[in-house]
Amino acid sequence: MAGFVPYHVNVNDIEGIGFGTFAQVGRVGKSGYVVKVPSNNAYEYFDREKMAYERLGHHPNIVRFFGEACISSGEEVLRGLILEYHQQGTLDKIISTTSTRTLRAEWARQVIEAIRHIHSCSIVHGDFGCHNILVTSDGSLALADFGGSRIDGSECLQFAPAPYAMPGRHQDQSDPTERNDLFALGTVLYEISSGHLLWRDLDDNEVRRRFAKHQYPSLEGVPGPLAYIIMRCWRGQYATIDEVANDLEKSRASPIALFRTRLVGLGLLVSLMAVGVQIRRGGFHRPSGLISTPLLRSKDWLSSLWAFFHGTQRG
């Protein structure tokens, strides 16, 4: 990034970008930096976020952190976090804009890698969603806003909105785990692949009710492998982000490699069919242990083998 890092800033040089309950964010002049300043003396959130960024270090899918700034405001000196400025803003604001399927597939990979990195650093985001994912100038994604995160099992200070909240999670609970982030990941992946926010016209209570009753939106139009991952996230069938990443990697296998694997499997299937027919006719001596007797006696052993082969390919 070009330009000096503004560690000492006059409040009059800050152009407001956004504000929330616990912080305000402003761009430093026309530079490529923003400062994030606590609102209502919410320094617990400030310190938590600073600790998270310091631990996370530099990662291509985490917003870049440059340290703490001193902000002069009259006789008062405020503290602020210096972060990289991204003009396009958060993903939820542009999710419906036209983009290629290839880009959306890359976005899916990037958000998974972001969660993989923070979990490897013993951090649970707690408020993971498209509203906290920034779009960089080159179209990549960068996860931000760690003020409410849980670090090394500490109390979580902020929780995810209803579309990203695991069923049964209440606002007075302070112990989200990695599984809560994985549930939210399901919604983020759905929104990325569908091009719109989940149930944006429903109130929070209805969203929670649907998730609690396992009533999920249609995944028509979502690529099959990604739809599989989304449903497993929502159903709580992943224990770790590595499992998600492994499923995504398997789904990205090249068509040639997949064809070769299927061809080898088909050859094995045909060979076993021939062996089975020979043994049934008594024209082939079966060495002990070659094919188990229960398998040969089963009327559906071929269909079971076929189902096993195709189930393995799907992952």
pTM for the predicted model, two decimal places? 0.80
pLDDT of residue 168: 79
pLDDT of residue 243: 98
pLDDT of residue 305: 45
Tell me, yes or no, whether 35 lies in a domain.
yes
Please state, rounded to an integer, the average pLDDT across all residues of the chain: 85
Q: Are 109 and 240 in a shared domain? A: yes
Tell me, yes or no, whether 1 lies in a domain.
no
Q: Are 58 and 126 in a shared domain? A: no
Whether residue 132 is predicted with pLDDT greater than 90 in this model: the reply is yes
Q: The domain spanning residue 179 has which CATH number?
A: 1.10.510.10
- Give tens-digit pLDDT for 137-161: 999 999 999 999 999 999 999 999 9
Q: Are 159 and 194 in a shared domain? A: yes
- Give tens-digit pLDDT for 37-58: 999 889 999 999 999 999 999 9
Confidence of residue 21 (pLDDT cuts 50, 70, 90): confident
Per cent of the chain over pLDDT 70 is 77
Tell me, yes or no, whether 2 lies in a domain.
no
Whether residue 313 is predicted with pLDDT greater than 60 in this model: the reply is no
DSSP character string of the chain: --S---SEEEGGGEEEEEE-SSEEEEEETTSSEEEEEESTT-HHHHHHHHHHHHHH---TTB--EEEEEEEEETTEEEEEEEEE--TT-BHHHHTTS---HHHHHHHHHHHHHHHHHHHHTTEE-SS-SGGGEEE-TTS-EEE---TT-EETTPPP-----GGGSPTT--TT-----HHHHHHHHHHHHHHHHHSS-TTTTS-HHHHHHHHHTT-----TTS-HHHHHHHHHHHTT--SSHHHHHHHHHHHT--HHHHHHHHHHHHHHHHHHHHHHHHHHHT-S---TTSS-HHHHH-TTHHHHHHHHHHHHHH-
Asked which of 28, 53, 84 is the last residue of a domain, the reply is 84
Tell me, yes or no, whether 3 lies in a domain.
no
Confidence of residue 276 (pLDDT cuts 50, 70, 90): low
Asked which of 222, 251, 280 is the last residue of a domain, the reply is 251
Q: Total domain count for the chain?
A: 3
- Give tens-digit pLDDT for 80-111: 999 999 999 999 999 998 678 899 999 999 99
Q: Are 126 and 247 in a shared domain? A: yes
- Give tens-digit pLDDT for 56-65: 999 999 999 9
Q: Are 101 and 212 in a shared domain? A: yes
Whether residue 237 is predicted with pLDDT greater than 90 in this model: the reply is yes
228 or 282, which is more confident? 228
Confidence of residue 31 (pLDDT cuts 50, 70, 90): very high
Asked which of 233, 251, 269 is the last residue of a domain, the reply is 251
Tell me, yes or no, whether 137 lies in a domain.
yes
Q: Are 79 and 98 in a shared domain? A: no
229 and 247 in contact (C-beta within 8 Å)?
A: yes
pLDDT of residue 295: 43
Tell me, yes or no, whether 167 lies in a domain.
yes
Domain of 29 in residue numbering reads as 8-84
Q: Are 159 and 288 in a shared domain? A: no
